[in-house]
A and B are shown apart, each in its own frame.
Chain A
Amino acid sequence: MNHAPAILAASFLGPEGQGNHRTGLRPWPAPLDAALAQGDLGQFHWSTLFASDPARFARMDLMSRFGLAAVELLGAGLETWPAERRDRAGVCVETGAGSLAADVSFLHTPRASLFTYTLPSTVLGEICIHYRLRGPMLCLMTGAASTPGSVQEAVQWLERGEAGACLCLRCEVADAPTTAKLPEFPRADWHAAALLLGRPDAGQWSRPLEIDSIVPLCRSVLGSAGRATHGEHRHPDRWL
């Protein structure tokens, strides 16, 4: 059996709520909902989405916290995967704002613990450390005319055998203090969206997701693939 790559799980966090392909979008609990809606992202606590405190969560920058949370929200059980599978699990991140919030904080108050997070790829490292993933990785800075995106890259990795599974993550986290300091930068709602791509198997991942069902959740990470025809199941390799 050699199924083509497909989306196996999807998740989303944003001002309007959080959820995955099973739960759909759920509102944040009060009073966190008001804080997040206003861009006060520091109010997000690990207990909202994690069963136990991920190591160093409180020291992470916002991008790492929300990126890690999006992957956890997939419910993929990555921490239970055998080592061989995790060795071949890739991570592809795309972001426009990148580490801008951490950059601004660092310039204001230079600290070693903060400098570590002034790279857009640090979220990738936090994900790999937390779930012990050692496959190929990439972080794409998106913006004007940046193509192809993370999903297209992941499909290629899977089809070429460079990875056995792949996490695609879109992370845009610029909090209110950052955008206030840089008014000329386009303001976008913060959010993180994650996809798990792989080959359907006989077990937990036997049913690939229909793209139309996840476009409302994960439009930003789906990119051009999100322009699905209503009611038509799209196979990843037909998005390119």
Chain B
Amino acid sequence: MLPQPNPSAPTPPEPVAFAGCGVVTALGAGTEPLQRALDANTGGLTARPQLACRGYQSVVAGFVPEAFFDSARAAHPAHADARAFLLAAEAIQQAERHAGAWLGTVPPERRGLVLATTKADIEALENLLAGRPCSPAARRHVQPARLAADLAAGARVRGPVQCVSVACVSGLLAIQQGARLIQRGQADLVYVAGVDLVSHFVLAGFSTLKSLEPDGCRPFDRARAGLTLGEGAGAVVLARPGLCGGAGVFLSGWGSSNDANHLTGPSRDGSGLALAITRALAAAAAAPESIDYIHVHGTGTPYNDAMESLAIRAVFGRRVPPFSSTKGILGHTLGAAGVIETIVCLLAFQARRLPGTPRLRERDPSVPDALLAAPQPAPALRRVLKINCGFAGTNAALLLEHP
């Protein structure tokens, strides 16, 4: 049975179905290694000591294994150095296979694609400016919209194509956009992909901000000291429920907001994120007490985790549902985080098990005690809230529902 739209909302939305997903992360390609890591509550972050000479604050990150790129280059020789393309194309292909044969019945003109990324192929820009070799494909992908266009061409998309870049909420906003395109009638299915790389650019950048945890992040830990970067790609297929069988997980609401406070630091009171959450709940006509689980942003920085704690207390009061962060497995995948972490939520529905918070040793006392340190069974999982926050005071929330 489909979730019912709220007739008293300004414009009752038609729920959109998640019809397929694919992912490439520090654990490799596919959702199976990701699920194993979620079950084990560990894995993914590694150190690359060879980077120590570059002066970064940390050489620990969620690096995608080189073995993936070795096989991906064989399949896409013209894109051998275009790592962002290789990651996103693989994730999209996985999502297509996962969606099933019905997808082939949707004509290209009725397919759309929305890409989420903060820096696209920033490595190509590094190479160009340093006078190092750079393929024409990688050079094109310095411009994020061209990366989106090439991915769309590979997926036989001739409908609307968008590229969203709003810091670390890019992924959730891209999913919102994909759903909007379907609800407006501009597409029947939309691939939503998110991709970002651990590059010299971002390692240097976050090092200048001194926001990296040298030994790996510990979200919501009493001793947390910073975030850990990650790279990867995630892709979901959004579709009209009537196309893909009408069963499964749906996107029933969303919301976004701006803190209007500071460019890099979250608001001290969490009110901006609380506003985004409230908007998502209102769009789905969902009461706070109906939420079964929250997958939070949980970067491991002192300020972000404190702000999120305030925000969820503000919305949920004394009845904070179980929540966790999985950045201790994957790192912070920046523009891809929203899509990859939404896939983590989809896996939670599938496995009927909530992920824990890897690398947590001792919960910060100011954090609600509903924080899950370890995975927890969830046989009746129905509504999941996914939230992310980003630079420039951005906040976004999605409500996922399995009727």
Contacts and interface: CB of A to CB of B under 8 A. Distances in A.
A128 interface: yes
Interface string B159-181: 01111111100000100010010
Interface residues of A, number: 54
Nearest to B271: A134
Residue of B10, B209, B256, B275 most packed against chain A (CB within 10 A): B256
A139 B114 CA distance: 12
B258 A116 contact: no
A129 B257 contact: no
A95 B162 CA distance: 12
Nearest to A64: B263
Contacts of B186: 148
A156 B162 contact: no
B392 A184 contact: no
B128 A120 contact: no
A91 B257 CA distance: 10
B256 A136 contact: yes
Interface in A128-173: 128-129, 131-148, 153, 156, 159-162
Interface stretch (B63-71, B89-97, B145-153, B221-229): B145-153
Nearest to A113: B208
Contact of B260 (A133, A138, A145): A133
Q: How large is the interface on B (under 10, 10 to 19, 20 to 34, 35 or more residues)?
A: 35 or more
Nearest to A103: B125
Contacts of A121: 165-167, 390-392, 394
Contacts of A185: 142-143
B403 interface: no
B184 interface: yes
A134 B145 contact: no
Nearest to A91: B258
A238 B206 CA distance: 45
Interface string B268-283: 0000100100010000
Nearest to A108: B129
A27 to B, nearest CB: 32
Interface in A64-105: 86-87, 91, 96, 98, 100, 103-104
Contacts of B275: 87, 134
B205 A96 contact: no
B122 interface: yes
Nearest to B136: A184
B162 A122 contact: no
B205 A135 contact: no
Contacts of A98: 143-144, 165
B118 interface: yes
Given A129-B393, A135-B258, A137-B256, A119 B165 contact: yes
B391 A125 contact: yes
Most-contacted residue by chain A among B152, B186, B205, B272 (CB, 10 A): B205
Contact of B391 (A100, A116, A148): A116
Contact of A136 (B118, B143, B257, B261): B257
B161 A133 contact: no
Nearest to B255: A136
B139 interface: yes
6 contacts: A106-B205, A121-B391, A126-B392, A128-B260, A147-B160, A159-B11
Interface of B: 9-11, 13, 118-119, 122, 125-126, 128-129, 139, 142-146, 148-149, 152, 160-167, 173, 177, 180, 184, 186, 201, 204-206, 208-210, 255-264, 272, 275, 279, 390-394
